[in-house]
């Protein structure tokens, strides 16, 4: 049974409809009757019906305002409107408010029954769609582990374009952490032929351990090895977290399954899009089990050895951190990354040619980054930057020059952001003034129009106007209301609608709060003064 609520200010009509329809035969239960839209709002708030049957012309809150309220607050409730006025604008407005049907009085019982059958069929169809969507959602939920495993394996093997990786991860509700990521691969040391349950048990332990960290996820490879990806703020923490996960998996496998497990750990990489590099290193490390024996946790540094680690030139990821901070205008972070880059360059066994090559690459990356954010590199670096770079002789001079670049870029970005913020605030102010009479105007709509987020818009708008969006919109509406009250003889409810209020009572309360007077008192005061 679907619940239906009847709203009409004429008792004869209201009671006639309620008493002369066999509701149960039509698949409905009469939820009650209301004398006007305001009373109906309270009834709907307390116990939303499936259908409302309402007159349009009623005191206090009319049928169109009630339909707007229902459309905004209870979108699944169907609305049927009755009116004795054959006017096209009512039908137009009803369509905007997603009203199910629009009927002219007087309406016969047969006409109403036909309409009720139609709305019941629509409700049945809606319920069927919702049930189908729920079945699909449950099926997707059941398939999610398989889909995630397939996606992550494709990422590991570089089968997905890197720019698409974040979107693909988000579509399957996987954590997207663009910090430092490290990969570990776990594998039981001895498995009897056909003992898939043991492999599955190790994979389950890996999933539970990853989940417990709060910043890791696990999955299986086609070779039935368990893979864990950990994420952290720094390389050191990522390495430590990967080691901790590997130890926990090995300990639980031994105590719960009586199995020994070996694990290989790759070095941290910058972001999950690069995790394939760490995975290949983890596999390489795990392969050392053949030489070292079972029950081992092997880091890639154990394979490379300290000499090979020390002889490598500074990591490109450190220079990437400098460029990333530069593009976001964070000069302190940029200078910190630069210092780390120089420290690393001065401690590894790198030649002067290695360091000069690194600095030339860094300068090229900076020029590319500035171009990407719309800054002409000549404004900050000069006309011949590589010539100037070639004249630098010491690491301290490199630091000084690149630090100056970072500070200048921050100043330019701050100036551009300020100009952008002011222009967006002005654009928003103009849009609000042009559309304040629209009752549906909202913060979300303004932000969509300006193509910015609400979190970005709210502080910049308040800084520009000294008011929040709601405060500014209310002030604009009240200014216009005062003008109309002073210059025209419209009724209060007409002025309320003209300035964007659907409820005249709420308009009067807001007006009094803003001016200290009711609309009637304000109009009288203006007339007396003139």
Residues 235 and 183 in one domain: yes
Residues 299 and 191 in one domain: yes
Asked if residue 382 belongs to a domain, the reply is yes
3-state secondary structure of 398: helix
pLDDT at res. 86: 58
Residues 351 and 384 in one domain: yes
User: How much is the CA Rg of the chain, to the nearest whole Å?
Assistant: 34
131 or 163: which leads in pLDDT = 131
Given a cut of 60, is residue 155 above it in pLDDT? yes
216 or 301: which leads in pLDDT = 216
CATH of the domain at 518: 1.10.10.60
| Residue of 92, 97, 34 whose CA lies nearest to 65 | 97
Q: Give me the mean pLDDT over the 472-494 stretch.
A: 92
168 or 436: which leads in pLDDT = 436
Question: Alpha-carbon distance 213 to 191, whole Å?
Answer: 28
Question: Alpha-carbon distance 389 to 391, whole Å?
Answer: 5
Residues 402 and 440 in one domain: no
pLDDT at res. 315: 45
pLDDT tens digits, residue range 219-278? 888 776 889 989 888 888 888 899 889 999 999 999 998 889 999 999 898 877 788 888
User: Who contacts 495 (Cβ-Cβ below 8 Å, separation ≥6)?
Assistant: 481, 484, 485, 488, 507, 519
Q: What's the predicted TM-score (pTM) here? A: 0.37
481 or 406: which leads in pLDDT = 481
Looking at 168-172, 301-305, 453-457, 462-466, which range is the least confident one? 301-305
pLDDT at res. 151: 77
Sign of the C-alpha dihedral, residues 244, 249, 254, 256? positive
User: Who contacts 370 (Cβ-Cβ below 8 Å, separation ≥6)?
Assistant: 376, 377, 380, 409
Residues 223 and 323 in one domain: no
pLDDT at res. 438: 93
Instruction: Dig out the tokens for 358 from the structure.
Output: 């690194």
Residues 301 and 371 in one domain: no
Question: Alpha-carbon distance 203 to 218, whole Å?
Answer: 8
Residues 304 and 329 in one domain: no
Contacts 24+ apart (CB under 8 A), 152-160: 152/217, 152/219, 152/227, 152/229, 153/219, 153/221, 153/222, 155/272, 155/273, 155/275, 155/276, 156/183, 156/221, 156/227, 156/275, 156/276, 156/279, 157/276, 158/276
Residues 397 and 455 in one domain: no
Split into its structural domains, the chain has a count of 4
| Residue of 190, 229, 189 whose CA lies nearest to 207 | 229
User: Who contacts 240 (Cβ-Cβ below 8 Å, separation ≥6)?
Assistant: 232
Question: Alpha-carbon distance 79 to 81, whole Å?
Answer: 6
Residues 487 and 509 in one domain: yes
35 or 375: which leads in pLDDT = 35
Asked if residue 76 belongs to a domain, the reply is yes
pLDDT tens digits, residue range 175-197? 555 578 899 999 888 766 556 78
pLDDT at res. 33: 92
Asked if residue 148 belongs to a domain, the reply is no
Instruction: Dig out the tokens for 483 from the structure.
Output: 């003008």
Question: Alpha-carbon distance 368 to 326, whole Å?
Answer: 12
Looking at 211-215, 228-232, 365-369, 473-477, which range is the least confident one? 365-369
Asked if residue 411 belongs to a domain, the reply is yes
pLDDT tens digits, residue range 118-153? 999 989 988 888 888 777 777 666 666 677 777 777
Question: Alpha-carbon distance 279 to 228, whole Å?
Answer: 9
Length of the chain: 530
Looking at 85-94, 148-157, 263-272, 413-422, which range is the least confident one? 85-94
Instruction: Dig out the tokens for 327 from the structure.
Output: 């593009």
174 or 151: which leads in pLDDT = 151
Domain boundary among 382, 415, 448: 415
Residues 304 and 331 in one domain: no
Alpha helices in 351-394, H assignment, sequence order: 352-372, 385-390
Q: How sure is the predictor about 97, in pLDDT bands with cuts at 50, 70 and 90?
A: low
CATH of the domain at 28: 3.40.50.2300
Asked if 490 and 484 count as a contact pair (C-beta separation under 8 A), the reply is yes
Asked if residue 429 belongs to a domain, the reply is no
Strand spans (E) along 87-173 = 101-104
Q: How sure is the predictor about 389, in pLDDT bands with cuts at 50, 70 and 90?
A: confident
Domain boundary among 252, 278, 309: 309
Asked if residue 117 belongs to a domain, the reply is yes
Q: What residue numbers bound the domain in which 68 lies?
A: 2-128
Torsion-angle region of residue 470: left (phi > 0), alpha (psi -120 to 50) or beta?
alpha
81 or 171: which leads in pLDDT = 81
Asked if 480 and 473 count as a contact pair (C-beta separation under 8 A), the reply is no
Residues 446 and 339 in one domain: no
From residue 466, alpha-carbon distances to 222, 433, 529 in Å are: 59, 16, 31
3-state secondary structure of 437: coil
Question: Alpha-carbon distance 226 to 106, whole Å?
Answer: 72
Given a cut of 50, is residue 486 above it in pLDDT? yes
Helix 275-286 to helix 300-311 angle (10° resolution) is 110
Looking at 124-138, 164-178, 449-463, 488-502, which range is the least confident one? 164-178
Domain boundary among 355, 384, 415: 415
Asked if residue 344 belongs to a domain, the reply is yes
Asked if residue 189 belongs to a domain, the reply is yes
Q: How sure is the predictor about 52, in pLDDT bands with cuts at 50, 70 and 90?
A: very high
Question: Alpha-carbon distance 205 to 198, whole Å?
Answer: 11
pLDDT tens digits, residue range 305-346? 443 333 444 444 456 677 777 766 666 777 777 777 777 666
Looking at 14-23, 91-100, 218-227, 470-479, which range is the least confident one? 91-100
Only one residue has tokens 């500074």, namely 314
- The percent of residues in the chain predicted with pLDDT above 90, rounded, is 22
Residues 334 and 399 in one domain: yes
């Amino acid at each position: 049974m679907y619940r239906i609520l009847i709203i009409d200010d004429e008792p004869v009509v209201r009671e006639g409809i309620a008493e002369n329809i066999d509701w149960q035969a039509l698949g409905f239960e009469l939820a009650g009757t209301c004398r006007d839209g305001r009373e109906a709002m309270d009834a709907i708030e307390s116990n939303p019906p499936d259908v409302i049957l309402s007159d349009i012309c009623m005191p206090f809150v009319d049928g169109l305002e009630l339909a707007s309220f229902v459309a905004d607050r209870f979108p699944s409730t169907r609305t049927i409107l009755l009116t004795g006025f054959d006017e096209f604008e009512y039908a137009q407005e009803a369509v905007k408010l997603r009203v199910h049907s629009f009927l002219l009085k007087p309406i016969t019982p047969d006409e109403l029954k036909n309409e009720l059958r139609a709305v019941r069929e629509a409700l049945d169809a809606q319920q069927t769609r919702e049930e189908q969507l729920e079945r699909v959602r449950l099926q997707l939920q059941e398939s999610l582990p398989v889909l995630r495993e397939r996606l992550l394996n494709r990422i590991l093997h570089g089968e997905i374009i890197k720019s698409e990786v974040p979107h693909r991860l988000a579509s399957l509700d996987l954590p997207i952490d663009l910090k430092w990521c490290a990969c570990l691969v776990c594998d039981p040391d001895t498995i009897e032929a056909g003992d898939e349950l043991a492999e599955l048990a190790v994979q389950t332990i890996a999933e539970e351990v990853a989940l417990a960290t709060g910043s890791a996820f696990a999955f299986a490879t086609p070779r039935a090895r368990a893979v864990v990806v950990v994420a952290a703020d720094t390389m050191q923490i990522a390495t430590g977290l990967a080691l901790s996960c590997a130890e926990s998996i090995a300990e639980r496998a031994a105590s719960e399954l009586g199995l020994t497990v070996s694990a290989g750990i790759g070095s941290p990489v910058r972001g999950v899009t690069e995790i394939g590099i760490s995975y290949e290193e983890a596999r390489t490390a795990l392969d050392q089990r053949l030489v070292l024996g079972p029950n081992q946790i092997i880091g890639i540094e154990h394979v490379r050895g300290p000499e090979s680690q020390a002889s490598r030139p500074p990591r490109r990821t450190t220079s990437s951190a400098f460029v990333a901070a530069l593009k976001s205008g964070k000069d302190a972070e940029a200078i910190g990354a630069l210092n780390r880059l120089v420290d690393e360059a001065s401690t590894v066994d790198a030649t002067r040619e290695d360091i000069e090559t690194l600095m030339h690459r860094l300068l090229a990356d900076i020029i590319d980054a500035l171009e990407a954010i719309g800054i002409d590199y000549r404004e900050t670096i000069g006309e011949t930057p590589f010539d100037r770079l070639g004249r630098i002789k010491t690491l301290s001079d490199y630091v000084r020059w690149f630090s100056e670049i970072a500070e200048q870029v921050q100043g330019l970005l701050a100036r551009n952001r300020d100009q952008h913020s002011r222009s967006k605030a002005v654009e928003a102010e103009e849009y609000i003034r042009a559309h304040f009479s629209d009752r549906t105007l909202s913060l979300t709509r303004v932000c969509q129009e300006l193509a910015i987020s609400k979190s970005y818009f709210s502080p910049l708008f308040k800084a520009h106007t000294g008011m929040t969006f709601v405060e500014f919109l209310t002030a604009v509406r009240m200014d216009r209301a005062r003008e109309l009250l002073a210059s025209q003889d419209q009724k209060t409810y007409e002025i309320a609608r003209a300035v964007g209020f659907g409820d005249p009572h709420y308009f009067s309360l807001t007006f009094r709060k803003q001016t200290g007077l009711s609309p009637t008192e304000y109009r009288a005061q203006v007339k007396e003064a003139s």
